[in-house]
Amino acid sequence: MHATERESIILNLLAKRDFVSFRDLESKIDGSPATIRRDLERLDSEGKIARVRGGAKSVLSDDTNMQPDLKLFGTPFHENVTQNTKQKRAIAQAAAELCKSGEGIMIDGGSTTLQMCPFLEGLNLQVLTNSLHIVHALGMQSGTRVLVPGGAVFPEQNIILPLFGEDLTPAFYAPKLFMGAAALNARGLLQDDVVLVASERRFMERAETVIVLADASKFENSSGNVVCPLEEIDILITDARISEQNAQSIESAGIRLIVTDT
């Protein structure tokens, strides 16, 4: 069982009750006792649970009314949005050109996907997004209908994500999902935070075609949590700085590669 799945089980149990015993976790998680202990220690260090004798306690039930720290690992949005802006805009324009008038699409939050918004005006799209930046940008467009999932707002990224692994996404299915990446390598598409991974997996389950927008600098990163292997990506849009080796590895995975001029 993957670490993301184990975390989801732990947080889901604690969303329903104040305390869960270690014995109960062992019966529900496919993992060794040592693995479960490490999961609990990590979640405790991240402020998502409180590790106590015999199991774990929900931080929401603590006497001090402590709330989870609503921050995601990785570069804050206000920093990310200023990097490689020329390349991101060209990538976003190429992505928007894949949209058909009147269809429904999903756009995952990110600095590159945000750049799609001005190119979508006039297409009369129905858009599901978890990004408040994208909600604001599309909300100014006549004819564009915007939907959002349930969850909590993470201010640094201005993104809506469920706290405890709940599936609060509307029953919305779309021919295309547009998403970014913290990194791309032989392991697949990576993001910095497991909370974001779970949200993106739910989006992927509701899409016929997964389209990734990633400037070539994303191939220089090597760490992160795996969202999906390369084979689950249908289209990758990047810029001309991509190396020949990386381009070949993308195409050998059966991914349609679109390279912009910038």
Domain ranges of the chain: 3-61, 77-259
CB-CB neighbours of 214 under 10 Å: 25
Helix (H, G, I), strand (E, B) or coil at 102: coil
Q: 213: alpha, beta or left, given left = phi > 0 and alpha = psi -120 to 50?
A: beta
CATH class for the domain made up of 3-61: mainly alpha
pLDDT given for residue 64 in this prediction: 40
Side chain identity at residue 158, one-letter code: N
Q: Is residue 133 within 8 Å of residue 109, measured between CB atoms? A: yes
Residue-averaged pLDDT of the chain: 88
- State how far the Cα of 226 lies from the Cα of 14, in Å rounded to an integer: 24
CATH of span 77-259: 3.40.50.1360
CB-CB neighbours of 70 under 10 Å: 15
Start-to-end CA distance of the chain, whole Å, equals 41
**What is the per-residue pLDDT across 204-246, written as a single tens digit (0 to 9) for each?**
999 999 999 999 999 988 778 899 999 999 999 999 999 999 9
For the chain, what percent of residues have pLDDT higher than 90? 56
Lowest mean pLDDT among 26-30, 200-204, 207-211: 26-30
pLDDT at 26 over 60: yes
pLDDT at 40 over 50: yes
Q: How confident is the model at residue 166 (pLDDT cuts 50, 70, 90)?
A: low
Copy the structure tokens of residue 138. Answer: 């599309």
pTM of the model: 0.73
- State how far the Cα of 166 lies from the Cα of 162, in Å rounded to an integer: 6
pLDDT at 116 over 70: yes
